[in-house]
Structure 1
Amino acid sequence: MIEVANRLKHVEEYYFSKKLREVAFLKSQGKPIINLGIGSPDLEPPFKATMLLKDSLDDEGANKYQSYQGLPELREEIGNFYKTRYKVSISGQTEVLPLLGSKEGIMHISMAFLNKGDKVLVPNPGYPTYAAVTKLLEAKPILYDLKEDNNWLPDFTALERLDLGKVKIMWINYPHMPTGANATNKFYDEVIAFGRRHNILIVNDNPYSFVLNEKPISIMRYNNAKEVCLELNSFSKTFNMAGWRVGMLVGSYEHLSAVLKVKSNMDSGMFYGIQKGAIEALKCSDMWFVSLNSVYQLRRELIWKLADGLNCTYDKDTAGMFVWAKLPPHLKSEEFTDLVLKEHSIFITPGTVFGTNGEGYVRFSLCASEEIIKEAIARV
């Protein structure tokens, strides 16, 4: 067998890629598995977005390669969305870059700014892709602690004690996945100042800001943010368009130009019909968000009951499409979730998937119908 690249020796296959194969096998054996592990929205996208996608297939040039920077009207509508929903002024022409999903954007950004041996500040717990992409590029992830007793926010005093000489990027993610914690105005001011002080690019990954969150915030609303910040955002959670693969990156023209150099060598533009559908999704009224959150609110209340049945505790003052729950003392996350899968045929995510600080916690997804969650409650 041809030897694989050295970079793969330090990266594991994505947890859900492996675990969902196991779940699929159990289902094939007749096990009635309830999947409360993965955050893949099961609700429908906006009707008008779907219809526009279909109708646009007959447009002239719909089947051709598209611009690497996306349709001008898509960029403009993203700028309008930021102004309307976040109260942030973003130029659709120079400060927006549509992406084939925000997960891909993590790779594009990393490739644009990291050299071999550079360091990256990665939250623990946090989205596993931040560390995985860093390792793939032969840079070094430096885990920074997020803990419950500090509301899952970084300790900047501890960060200042680190050797920051080779740190190029800091990943932040609020509303936070997996805990659902929200950040404060003070935090955003502090992290921007931290980035400016140490010449670190601060990247805010912001896909959950409209799910069970009363005050959506963009880091771009704060002073000096464009100087040292980029923000990733996504249609996946806000508009139930996960499989469409539509994301966006906003920031300064200079930063986006660097990312575009990478992106333009890795894809050939987003499919025209998806862009047209995305434009329509961005025009959704307030009622879209009210309706979306009313469904998730009911589901979350049921998940809290399920967590109660499993003797877990949780914070009700959180955002996003997950419930982060603390296990009873002395229980291990992976042992607990394996037991729940074995005894109740319910798949939930162990907190250790997101880092060592996830030990003692589990994550429940809200991406299942009320009927399915009620069935899970009945089982336990």
Structure 2
Amino acid sequence: MKGFSNRLIHIEEYYFSKKLKEVRQLISEGKPVINMGIGSPDLPPHLSVIQALQETASDSLAHGYQGYQGIPELRKAFADFYQKHYEVDLKPDSEILPLMGSKEGIIHISMAFLNAGDEVFIPNPGYPTYASAAQLVEAKAVFYDLDKANDWQPNFAALEKNDLSKVKLMWVNYPHMPTGARASQGLFEKIIQFGKKHDILIIHDNPYSFILEDKPSSILSINGAKEIAIELNSLSKTANMAGWRVGALVGKAELVDAVLKVKSNMDSGMFLGIQKGAIAALSLGQDWYASLNETYAKRRNLVWEIADLLDLEVEKDAVGMFVWAKIKNDKTDIDFVDELLDQHHLFITPGSIFGSQGKGYVRFSLCISEEKIKEVINRIK
């Protein structure tokens, strides 16, 4: 064997992949570990979603290859969803590309638009896969800092000081992961203006817009946004379908078609039963989101209690399915997390895995039952 690809030199195993091996080992040894690190919804999808899958699975025509763009009914369902919740008009035939989860869209977008040596603006802190995808296509990740003092928003004056000639893409993500910061319409307008001014394609990753948020928003609602922005969305969080792997890329037809050229060489279509389930999920009413958020709000209140017990500072105006908390003492976030795992058999996420701006912070997931969270409280007490 003559070795591995050079593109793997700077790519490390995903933190959770490594850390969860340790967690599983502790559990196998009989340790009662409670995992509050992963944002995988523990609640089931709506019954109608499961029924749609079950009914389609018995259809003899459901088991063949499916189209790369998904069935027309699914694209129409995404278009209706965007119109209803975001007031964004999309053409089902050309401006919507269903994906097997939005995570695959990150690498597809990188492959469709980036050449070796191109530069990509990536939020710090932010989702680690943005940088990994850039590195896999031999582009250069250029991190832009977000901080609490600026409400975890880009500092456009600082960005303007960079040499922007090679910057081709800019990743943005609101509600922001991991901090839970919201984006106002004014912020979206600034992002679009920045992209147009410097001819930088804006990619908005939007999977958390319904979680503990009463006014879901899309960057495509900004006038003229389609000319310079595309958006990823997902049913993983909004419909409790993380394992189903359903998302979508939406935006200008020319941009979506470029990603389709990559995607059509990477898979052979989504199982029809999952597409039918997604259609059911996209048609859910406001009562679904209200019920979901009532559950998350109760859990969040309990996590705030944990934060108080651990002398952590939280931002209570944040949204999304995580609680972002600042460590007040001099411990590093890695040491803090390891101590919790050792002393209380509690696993949470160190903020530094999301970038240097996450140092000194930790992240709690709300994807765990109230009973388990109360158990954590009792352990710490």
Question: Would you call these one fold, judging by a TM-score over 0.5?
Answer: yes
More displaced 10-residue stretch of structure 1: 183-192 or 111-120? 183-192
Q: CA deviation at 1:58?
A: 2.3
Corresponding residue number in structure 1 for 2:100 = 100
Query: How far does the alpha carbon of each residue in 1:200-238 deviate from its partner, in whole angstroms, 9 at most, with x for none?
Result: 110000000000011100001001110010100000000
Corresponding residue number in structure 1 for 2:152 = 152
Write the mapping of 1:168-179 to structure 2, written as runs, cut at 5 A: 168-179=168-179
Corresponding residue number in structure 2 for 1:224 = 224
- The DSSP-based 3-state class of the residue aligned with 2:357 is helix
One-letter amino acid matched to 1:255: L
Corresponding residue number in structure 2 for 1:36 = 36
Corresponding residue number in structure 2 for 1:333 = 333
One-letter amino acid matched to 1:86: Y
Q: CA deviation at 1:358?
A: 0.4
Corresponding residue number in structure 2 for 1:163 = 163
Q: CA deviation at 1:59?
A: 2.2
One-letter amino acid matched to 1:34: I
- The DSSP-based 3-state class of the residue aligned with 1:143 is strand
- The DSSP-based 3-state class of the residue aligned with 1:179 is coil
- CA distance in structure 2 between the partners assigned to 1:160 and 1:45 by the alignment: 44
Write the mapping of 1:1-380 to structure 2, written as runs, cut at 5 A: 1-380=1-380
Percent of matched pairs sharing the same residue: 58
- CA distance in structure 1 between the partners assigned to 2:50 and 2:146 by the alignment: 39
One-letter amino acid matched to 1:348: I
One-letter amino acid matched to 1:305: E
One-letter amino acid matched to 2:199: N
- CA distance in structure 1 between the partners assigned to 2:87 and 2:137 by the alignment: 35
Q: CA deviation at 1:93?
A: 1.5
- The DSSP-based 3-state class of the residue aligned with 1:204 is strand
Normalising by structure 2, we get a TM-score of 0.99
Query: How far does the alpha carbon of each residue in 1:73-125 deviate from its partner, in whole angstroms, 9 at most, with x for none?
Result: 00001000000011111111211000000000000000000000000000000
- CA distance in structure 1 between the partners assigned to 2:302 and 2:342 by the alignment: 22
- CA distance in structure 2 between the partners assigned to 1:80 and 1:93 by the alignment: 13
- CA distance in structure 2 between the partners assigned to 1:152 and 1:347 by the alignment: 25
- CA distance in structure 1 between the partners assigned to 2:204 and 2:329 by the alignment: 33
- CA distance in structure 1 between the partners assigned to 2:302 and 2:120 by the alignment: 38
One-letter amino acid matched to 2:190: E
One-letter amino acid matched to 1:223: N
One-letter amino acid matched to 2:238: T
Normalising by structure 1, we get a TM-score of 0.99
- CA distance in structure 2 between the partners assigned to 1:259 and 1:218 by the alignment: 20
Number of equivalences: 380
Structure 1 residue runs of 4 or more that deviate by more than 3 Å after TM superposition:
none
Q: CA deviation at 1:151?
A: 0.3
- CA distance in structure 2 between the partners assigned to 1:2 and 1:274 by the alignment: 40
- CA distance in structure 1 between the partners assigned to 2:3 and 2:94 by the alignment: 43
- CA distance in structure 1 between the partners assigned to 2:78 and 2:60 by the alignment: 24
- CA distance in structure 2 between the partners assigned to 1:271 and 1:200 by the alignment: 35
One-letter amino acid matched to 1:270: M
Query: How far does the alpha carbon of each residue in 1:344-376 deviate from its partner, in whole angstroms, 9 at most, with x for none?
Result: 000000000100000110000000000000000
Query: How far does the alpha carbon of each residue in 1:1-22 deviate from its partner, in whole angstroms, 9 at most, with x for none?
Result: 5411111110100011111111
One-letter amino acid matched to 1:25: Q
Q: CA deviation at 1:60?
A: 4.0
Which structure 1 segments of 5+ residues have no match?
none
